[in-house]
């Protein structure tokens, strides 16, 4: 066990997690987190401060989002990749608690949060992320199981121009998945085919490898994967052509 580097198990109890968290060799763990009092016993105010200090990547399955304040105490300064997955819905205000804790860690190169809950963020949140995570290469927010339905009284949205501004500030970013509103698309961009084809493409050195946007159009949800090359524009919708020009060069 003293040479163990990675742990990938369906579930781990608190004693095993505490033991693994104390091993100096372990740098990655993928598992469902213990919940409630068990998690508090591991990560509570009296917990061992040297636990998990050598972790650089974690992949947590969250069974109870009420534990968010507890498990955010986990992030070691060396953590560069974070994946949080859950089939459980959670209240939108917990997202701010999560972001507040994440912003204290500037080493992130990959953040992947995938839940059945709507992630109620806006462009100010995106700018905070851009400032907090200058090394960010991957940002996936609800790529697989997430949806656009919101229980929040006043849902907040990210616009396409807001995503463009975010990408321009994250110089190392290569992959993104995010939910957006189409509210300002027509105001910001001329959606005529000839105008889009004449649009100056993104510089090749700043081009992204993958862009996936969940878009709301009235009650319709669109999932669009931008093409690899603008030369494929002949078989694309106007919106896909716009994405290719804005993000893929």
pLDDT at 240: 81
Residue 226 inside a domain? The answer is yes
Q: How many CB atoms lie within 10 A of CB 234?
A: 7
pLDDT per residue, tens digit, the chain (249 aa), is 778 999 999 998 888 888 888 888 999 999 988 877 777 777 665 555 567 778 888 898 887 766 676 666 666 667 788 888 887 776 666 766 777 776 666 678 898 988 877 777 888 889 988 888 888 999 998 887 655 455 555 667 889 999 999 999 999 999 999 888 887 788 888 888 888 888 887 888 888 988 888 876 544 555 556 555 444 545 677 888 888 888 887
Residue 14 inside a domain? The answer is yes
Distance CA(47)–CA(37), nearest Å, equals: 13
Which pair of tokens denotes residue 47?
């917990």
Residues of 235-245 as b/e, b for ≥16 C-beta within 10 angstroms? ebeebbbbbbb
Distance CA(115)–CA(62), nearest Å, equals: 9
Residue 1 inside a domain? The answer is no
Distance CA(39)–CA(152), nearest Å, equals: 28
Residue 60 inside a domain? The answer is yes
152 close to 117: Cβ distance less than 8 angstroms:
no
What's the number of domains the chain is made of?
1
Residue 227 inside a domain? The answer is yes
24 close to 5: Cβ distance less than 8 angstroms:
no
Residue 179 inside a domain? The answer is yes
pLDDT at 122: 86
Starting at the earlier edge strand, list the strands of the sheet with 81-85.
6-11, 28-32, 57-61, 81-85, 110-114, 138-141, 175-181, 210-217, 220-225
pLDDT at 244: 84
46 close to 19: Cβ distance less than 8 angstroms:
no
Boundaries of domain holding 210: 6-248
Distance CA(127)–CA(112), nearest Å, equals: 17
213 close to 242: Cβ distance less than 8 angstroms:
no
Residue 154 inside a domain? The answer is yes
pLDDT at 230: 45
> What is the distance in angstroms between the CA of the first residue and the CA of the last residue of the chain?
47
The domain spanning residue 117 has which CATH number?
3.80.10
Q: What is the 3-state secondary structure (H, E, C) of the chain?
A: CCCCCEEEEEECCHHHHHHHHCCCCCCEEEEECCCHHHHHHHHCCCCCCCCCCCCCEEEEECCCHHHHHHHHHHCCCCCCEEEEECCCCCCCHHHHHHHHHHCCCCCCCEEEEECCCCCCCCHHHHHHHHHHCCCCCEEEECCCCCCCCCCCCCCCCCEHHHHHHHHHHCCCCCEEEEEEECCCHHHHCCCCHHHHHHCCCCCHHHCCCEEEEEEEECCEEEEEECCCCHHHHHHCCHHHHHHHHHHHC
pTM of the model: 0.83
């Amino acid at each position: 066990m003293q040479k163990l580097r990675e742990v990938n198990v369906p579930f781990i109890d608190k004693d095993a997690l505490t033991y693994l968290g104390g091993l100096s060799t372990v740098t990655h763990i993928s598992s469902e987190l213990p919940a409630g009092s068990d998690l508090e016993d591991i990560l509570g105010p009296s917990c061992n401060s040297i636990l998990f200090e050598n972790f650089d990547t974690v992949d947590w399955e969250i069974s109870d989002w009420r534990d968010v304040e507890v498990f955010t105490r986990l992030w070691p300064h060396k953590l560069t990749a974070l994946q949080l997955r859950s089939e459980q819905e959670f209240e939108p205000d917990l997202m701010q608690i999560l972001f507040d804790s994440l912003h204290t860690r500037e080493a992130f190169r990959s953040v992947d949060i995938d839940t059945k809950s709507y992630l109620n963020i806006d462009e100010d949140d995106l700018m905070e992320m851009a400032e907090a995570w200058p090394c960010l290469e991957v940002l996936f927010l609800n790529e697989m199981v997430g949806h656009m339905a919101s229980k929040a009284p006043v849902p907040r949205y990210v616009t396409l121009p807001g995503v463009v501004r975010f990408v321009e500030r994250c110089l190392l970013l290569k992959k993104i998945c995010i939910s957006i509103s189409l509210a300002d698309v027509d105001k910001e961009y001329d959606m005529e085919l000839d105008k889009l084809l004449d649009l100056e493409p993104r510089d090749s050195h700043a081009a992204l490898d993958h862009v996936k946007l969940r878009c709301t159009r009235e009650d319709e949800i669109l999932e669009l994967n931008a093409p690899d090359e603008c030369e494929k524009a002949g078989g694309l919708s106007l919106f896909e052509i716009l994405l290719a020009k804005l993000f893929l060069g």
